[in-house]
Amino acid sequence: MSKQVGFIGLGRMGEPMALRLVAAGYELVVYDVRPESVAALTAKGALAAASSAAVASAVDTVLLSLPTPPIVREVALGAGGVASGSKVKTVIDLSTTGASAAREIAAALAAKGITAVDSPVSGGVAGAVAGTLAVMVAGPRALCTELEPMLAVFGKVFFVGERPGMGQTMKLANNLLSATAMAATAEAVVFGVKSGLDPSVMCDVINAGSGRNTASMDKVPRQVITRKFAQGFATGLMYKDVRLCLEEAEAAGVPMSVAAGVRALWARANEELGADSDMTAIVQLIERAAGVEVKSK
């Protein structure tokens, strides 16, 4: 494939992924609604485009990294969007949209002769910077094989299926577990602190035992106990992912009673802490109710 590709969406995840492509020798044509984000890439040698359509008129492969399904839909299919570009043949969506949106967008792009590759990523901002993301790819097998060297710049590539939306299903299942681990670990640690335990000791014990998870190993020690709350993933986005997962599960006829409780807690966090708060701040909901603070003694 050509080393010249397009990249639209230079936010917390998109910018470090785009920078990794530049560092790997790819010639990027980029667009974002924020000029300062575009400037960060052009300073490294990328070319700026005036719109999503302009990106799609300059290259045959366009990557998207965008925050919500409506934004992905608008950028892909709306006025001045990717589908109106004159050169694009492949659109790789790195965002989290849910399987239904992925299928809808793929069908609309196919009608214009454009192939959609569903390729959400997991591993957070740190993983995007380090190139250690899990990259979940769904699309035509031969095309995905051709794209793998480029996607491997972001991390480890997993081919999960040929149908649009299969990557999204994999990503939502993963993020449900991540959201559940954070919520449950927050409750467990606040319970321990209220009962007199040191949260650092709690994490050491949990991580040596059967309760260890991504929150106990990383998020609670690094972000909660230190009171940094700077994991780099917003509460609103985590709530969106959990909500999408339950909607997709309901459509598939799969009951998820545990996930329903997790969604309710993230909905409260989204409302009370704000969508832009760091996802690790969810512990503050339980702290307030318990009248304690999770910090090292």
Give the pLDDT confidence of 10-57 residue by residue, as tens digits: 999 999 999 999 999 999 999 999 999 999 999 999 999 999 999 999
73 pLDDT more than 90: yes
Q: Give mean pLDDT, residues 71-92.
A: 96
What's the pLDDT at 232?
87
Percent of the chain clearing pLDDT 70 (strictly above): 100
Average pLDDT, rounded, for the chain: 96
Scored b (16 or more CB within 10 A) or e, 91-117 reads bbbbbbbbbebbbbbbeebeeeebbbb
Q: What does the domain layout of the chain look like in residue ranges?
A: 4-162, 169-290
Percent of the chain clearing pLDDT 90 (strictly above): 96
260 pLDDT more than 90: yes
Catalytic pick from 87, 171, 219, 297?
171
What's the pLDDT at 178?
96
Instruction: Using alpha carbons, list the distances in angstroms from residue 59 to 2, 71, 173.
Output: 9, 21, 33
196 pLDDT more than 90: yes
**CA 269 from centre of chain:** 18
297 pLDDT more than 90: no
Angstrom distance (rounded) from CA 136 to CA 118:
8
* Tokens coding 221: 């020690």
> Which band of pLDDT confidence, cut at 50, 70 and 90, is reported for residue 296?
confident
- Catalytic residue flag (residue 171): yes
What's the pLDDT at 129?
95
Q: Give mean pLDDT, residues 173-201.
A: 97
User: How would you classify residue 98: left for phi > 0, otherwise alpha for psi between -120 and 50, otherwise beta?
Assistant: left
* Tokens coding 239: 């709530």
Dihedral Cα 80, 82, 85, 91, nearest 10 deg: 180
2 pLDDT more than 90: no
Q: Give mean pLDDT, residues 152-169.
A: 96
Q: Give mean pLDDT, residues 215-242.
A: 95
What's the pLDDT at 266?
98
Predicted model pTM: 0.91
What's the pLDDT at 247?
94
Q: Give mean pLDDT, residues 165-187.
A: 97
Angstrom distance (rounded) from CA 55 to CA 245:
31
**CATH architecture of the domain with residue range 4-162:** 3-Layer(aba) Sandwich (3.40)
Q: pLDDT tens digits, residue range 98-127?
A: 999 999 999 999 999 999 999 999 998 989
Q: Do domains 4-162 and 169-290 have the same CATH topology?
A: no
Class of domain 169-290: mainly alpha
